[in-house]
Amino acid sequence: MYSDHATTSLDPVEQLMLELVRQGTGDVGRAAAHHLSAGGARIRARLALHAGRALGRPESESIAIAAACELLHNASLVHDDLQDRDERRRGQAAVWYRFGDAMAICVGDLLLSAAYAALGAAGAGTARLSVRMHRRIGEVIRGQCADLALQGSADVSLESYERVASGKSAPLLVLPLELALTLAGKEEAVPAAAAAGSLFAIGYQVADDLQDVTQDAAHQELNIVSVLAASGESDPHQRARELAILRFRQAHAAATGLPSGSGELLATQATQRADRLSRALEPA
C-alpha cells in the first residue's frame, strides 16, 4: 500500500541543497537560494525518497539522490526562464528578472554543479550514478533544443509534439527512479521506469499546455492545442484532455510494475492528474 511518507521528510533534502549552493558562492549562492526558496512540489525528491525506501536503501542515499535530482531540475528551470523570458516562477521574480541574465546563467551552472556534489553523498555507487545522471542531462538538453527549434512552426505532428514533450521532461522524472534502482542492483527495471516517466511527462506537458494556450500563442510557443487544431481536430481542447488522461493512465500501469513498489508514487501522481482531467470533461 502506497504511503507518501516522503512528503513529510523533505527537510534534509532542502537543507542539503541550500548548504551546497551557499558554500563560498557569494551573490550567486544568494540568488540560487532565492530561487530554491520559492519551493515547488519537489516531485523528483519525493520520487527518490519513496523509491529508495521501497527498495530498502539507506536514508542517506535517498536524500543524496533526491537533492541531486531537484538541483538538476531547478537548474533547468532557471535557464528555461531565461530562454523564454518568463518573469515569474512559482509566484516570485524569476532569477534573470531580479538579478539579470548573467547571474541567471551562473545560478543555473551552480545548481548543476551542486547536483553532482549532492550525489557524492550516495556512497560507493557514485561513479555509476554520475554517468547515468550525465546521460539524462544530455537528453534534457536535446529535448529543449528540439522544442526551441519548433517555436513558431505551423506544421508540427502529434508524434513530434510527444517526442519533444517527453524529451524535455521525462529524463529528470525518470532519474530519481533510475538512481534508486541502480543502487538497489535493479538496473534491468530502468527501461520500464523510463517508459513510465515518458508517458507521465507527455500527460503533464499536455495538461500544462491546456492552462497556457493564450500565453503560448502570444509567444509562438509549442502547444498541444495549436498542434491538434492545425491537424483538423474539431475540438482540440477536449482531444488534448483525452490524450493527457490516456497518457497518465498508461504511466500508472507502467509504474505499478516496478520492483518492490518503487514506482507507486509516480503511479499515484498519474492517477490523481488523470482523475482531475476526467472531472473537467464531465458535463455540468
Residue 32 in contact with residue 18, Cβ under 8 Å? no
Residue 207 in contact with residue 273, Cβ under 8 Å? yes
Chain-centroid distance, C-alpha 44: 7
How many other C-beta atoms are found inside a 10 Å radius of the C-beta of residue 245?
22
In this predicted model, which residue has the larger pLDDT, 144 or 125? 144
Using alpha carbons only, give the angle 52, 58, 64 rounded to the nearest 5 degrees. 70
Instruction: For residues 243-263, give the mean pLDDT.
Output: 97
The cell numbers describing 111, all together, are: 545548481
Between CA 173 and CA 249 the distance in angstroms is: 16
Q: What pLDDT does residue 217 have?
A: 83
| Domains of the chain, CATH where assigned | 7-123 (1.10.600.10), 124-284 (1.10.600.10)
How many other C-beta atoms are found inside a 10 Å radius of the C-beta of residue 241?
20
Q: Which of 43, 39, 35 is nearest to 93 (CA)?
A: 35
Q: What is the DSSP string of 3-72?
A: --GGGG--HHHHHHHHHHHHTT-HHHHHHHHHHHHT----HHHHHHHHHHHHTT--HHHHHHHHHHHHHH
Beta bridge partners, 93, equal 88
Q: Which of 147, 118, 270 is nearest to 197 (CA)?
A: 270
Residue 49 in contact with residue 264, Cβ under 8 Å? no
Dump pLDDT digits (tens) for 9-65. Answer: 899 999 999 999 998 889 999 999 999 999 899 999 999 999 999 999 999 999 999
Instruction: For residues 80-92, give the mean pLDDT.
Output: 91
pTM: 0.92
The mean pLDDT value of the chain amounts to 92
